[in-house]
Structure 1
Amino acid sequence: MDRVRVNGIEIAYDTFGDAGGRVLVLIMGLGAQMISWDEEFCAELAAAGHYVVRFDNRDAGLSTHLHEAGVPRLPAARGEGVPEAPYLLKDMAADTAGLLDVLGLDAVHVVGASMGGMIAQEFAIRYPGRTLSLTSIMSTTSPDVGAPTELALGALLAPAAPDRESVVRRAVESWKVLGSPAYPADEARVREIAGQAYDRSFDPPGFGRQFAALLASGDRTAALRELSVPALVIHGEADQLVQLAGGVATADAIPGAKLLTFPGMGHDLPRALWPDFVAAITELTTRAAVL
């Protein structure tokens, strides 16, 4: 893992595969760290001909945490209004572009999961000349489309756990709500990743700042309609956190986008579906490379 200076902050990142491969940038979601892109999954993408770059977003993992920005006041209920955010998703997309600048990478294939899908959409909108293809996974065009169920929202916004043991236990409880009913997670692996994430960085206010950015960034539908980039939308039909309508709206908004949905998939990346994900992403990046 390395760190680079980007937009006045530090971004932590690592890479997989041959630097001569098709560059695939992985952007993770709300409060999640780059380790949520499993190393074995990254290795499978690399084996399919990609040079994989994963990184910690600002306010997550080992990238800069904007402690001086404080804790934004988030809406207590739906429809209460838009919070004041210290930054927006477009700024996180600019972080991605800045990382690529430092790495000497120009045009890339972007893949984002959940809020990372929103950031990937922002990247494609704002840097169309640098976007070879866009893959949006379990994401949406707007916080109002595919909004979470009450059960999922409760799991997402539960008060911060006070210590490592509680964080790990909370992760297991959340996965039972948010995960894939047809593809039960390996509880030991969930515990391992949650423990690793806690050890790397535990910053509930950082989660709050990212969430404020998500809520304050508005609707991307009109801008997505202007894209002319090969696009793939992947979504679970049993997703309670970003319901299927979010994926459908994303695919409908992007001209020519392919929508790939999976029965029984929730808001995670089940290992059993990795071959399908890798095959679909590889087909997209291969096709985009010859356009």
Structure 2
Amino acid sequence: MNIGVLCPHCGLMQMNRPACKSCGAPLSDSALAPSPSFTPSTPQEIRYAPDPPDGHPLPLKGGSEGAVAARLSFHGKGGELFGIYLINIFLSLITLGIYYFWGKVKIRNYLFSRMEFWQERFVYHGTGKELLVGFLKALVLFFIPLYSLNAAPALLETGLMFQAVATGLAYGIVMVFVPLAMVGARRYRLSRTSWRGIRFSFRGVSWDFVKIFGLGSILSTLTLGLYFPFFDAKRYDFMVSHSYFGNQKFGFSGRGKDLFRPFLLAILLTLPTLGLYWFWYWAKRQRYYWEHTTCGPVR
């Protein structure tokens, strides 16, 4: 996947154009940027710069002036987001909760449009109607059957055998629906997200995740929660390793055993710190996951 043109004269990475905006050298097909597997010998060898103001080239050759760091930044403001939340709450109340889904889309639109990478903003393409339809499907396929199984024994005044069967069926529905919902939510969010006009996607098989979720839940229960870091890493690995940006695949190289000791420490410090140490654990976990997540050759 080509992301721009590399000037053969000054080494500036830029959008496709007839001539280099820095040194004026002509650009041809041979100057197309290398594939993501290419690794420059020095950090200054390839740079990405914005369009020059008023048609004047930026003085990037041999220096870093005007260069744009490949860093994710956020340009939102708390006051703006708070205003959106207030409007969403008001409209949700007067519409008996129906507007909630459109309000959620407004928040996502705001957050995504304020995130910037290489001077390009992310775009969210979801709609409130899609979220509402998804909720109605979950209501029919999950919440109503689950409520019926839980309420039926009491309403029908059945025996212990029927209650045990109903409880087992309810547990089975939860163990199947929750992982399916997690995969569906990730597939939807990624398919509705783009950067530079390129869509993200998720290509994992839902039932593979159901197996991971079911086995991990059972082992976590049998080990009194000690298996959770391994289970958590397997879940994250599945979600990440089946995600794509265009044709570039994400990857995850982390291992659950690396988080076992911090997890065990968090358990031991739960009572002495009144549970506050878990904030440090989740921060360490998230940092570890990000550091071991890749997209193509980029970490």
Q: TM-score, normalising length from structure 2?
A: 0.30
Greater strand proportion: 1
Greater helix proportion: 2
* Larger Rg, first or second structure (1 or 2): 2
Q: TM-score, normalising length from structure 1?
A: 0.30
